[in-house]
């Protein structure tokens, strides 16, 4: 099984993320995989993001755009990505040290699988010491349709399309919903591949906006399915591993 058949492009959108950027980029570099490119989309930062990115020299492809929001930044990264496998990482999160080791073989062993999704471990901010923030694990790892927990064949974006730039929140969930509607083959596994670091600046702290955009995202999905099925919304196959259920379906597998 040759996983080096894959060229991995990792897209990191950042807006004023100087407190987290170095650790995020280091967590990608620690994968010790080749060929790999890191595409940093600076979404109009006004802090030291540019300076920190420059410290990584040729290890990071730095691209600036006026502030346009996370989905626009991710779409910009997709346009510049050279890899046939795509990964994502929000600047305040981390990849697990063995993410690519865990997920690339699952793509290699089955050419029909286009998305591999691992589990997410939540990390809670406990203190800041000399400018460095410390995070500790809390709660059990869970299945989250989070871009950082997954790897994607680039062909999946040819079929599903880019992120909806009108959804400042929930653009990732919207994309996963569209992928499920199109029957894109996914594999879900229980290993932790993504560390979600909770802190005072998480955009999901705005529950009012988050909930509003989630409702819009679900409404869009219902409307699409009704349109495709004579006014009756098609029921999507259930995602396995939710609530520790390990049942298997014909489109989404869990191991």
pLDDT in tens, 20-53: 999 999 999 999 899 999 999 999 999 999 999 9
Residue 76 tokens read as 């910009």
Whether cis (ω within 30° of 0) applies to the bond prior to 35 is yes
Give kind and range of the element (H or E) at residue 103: helix 99-108
In this prediction, residue 144 has a pLDDT band, given cuts at 50, 70 and 90, of: confident
pLDDT at 206: 52
pLDDT at 230 over 70: no
pLDDT of residue 75: 98
Question: What is the Rg, in whole angstroms, of the alpha carbon atoms belonging to the chain?
Answer: 18
**The CATH number, out of the four listed (3.40.50.300, 3.40.630.10, 3.90.550.10, 3.40.50.720), of the domain defined by the range 3-237:** 3.90.550.10
pLDDT category at 205 given cuts 50, 70, 90 is very low
For the segment 53-57, the average pLDDT, to the nearest whole number, is 95
Closest CA to 145 of 252, 235, 233, 39: 252
- Whether residue 124 is predicted with pLDDT greater than 90 in this model: the reply is no
Show Cβ contacts of residue 176 under 8 Å, excluding neighbours closer than 6 positions. Answer: 145
Element at 244 (helix H, strand E): none
Tokens of 100: 């690519």
Q: How far is CA 60 from CA 2, 17, 25, 56, in A?
A: 25, 15, 8, 6
**Res 237: pLDDT:** 66
Quote the pLDDT of residue 147. Answer: 97
Angle at 117 between CA 111 and CA 123, to 5 degrees: 155
Contact present, 67 and 43 (Cβ < 8 Å): yes
Across 227-254, average pLDDT? 52
Predicted confidence band at 193 (pLDDT cuts at 50, 70, 90)?
very high
């Amino acid at each position: 099984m040759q996983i080096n058949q894959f060229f991995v492009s990792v897209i990191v959108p950042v807006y004023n993320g100087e407190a987290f950027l170095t650790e995020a980029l280091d967590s990608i570099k620690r994968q010790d995989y080749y060929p790999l490119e890191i595409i940093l989309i600076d979404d109009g930062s006004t802090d030291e993001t540019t300076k920190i990115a420059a410290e990584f020299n040729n290890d990071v492809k730095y691209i600036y755009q006026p502030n346009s929001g996370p989905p626009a930044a991710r779409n910009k990264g997709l346009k510049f990505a050279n890899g046939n496998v795509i990964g994502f990482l929000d600047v305040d999160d981390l990849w697990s040290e063995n993410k690519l080791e865990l997920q690339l073989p699952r793509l290699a062993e089955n050419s029909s699988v286009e998305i591999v999704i691992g589990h997410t471990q939540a990390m809670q901010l406990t203190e800041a010491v000399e400018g460095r923030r410390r995070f500790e694990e809390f709660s059990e790892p869970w299945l989250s349709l989070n871009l950082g927990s997954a790897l994607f064949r680039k062909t999946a974006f040819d079929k599903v399309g880019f992120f909806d730039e009108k959804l400042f929140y929930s653009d990732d969930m919207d994309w996963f919903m569209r992928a499920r509607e199109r029957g894109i083959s996914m594999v879900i596994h229980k290993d932790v591949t993504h560390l979600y670091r909770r802190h005072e600046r998480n955009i999901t702290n705005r529950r009012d906006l988050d909930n509003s955009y989630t409702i819009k995202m679900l409404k869009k999905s219902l409307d699409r399915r009704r349109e495709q099925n004579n006014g009756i919304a098609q029921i999507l196959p259930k995602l396995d591993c939710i609530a520790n259920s390990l049942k298997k379906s014909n489109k989404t597998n869990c191991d």
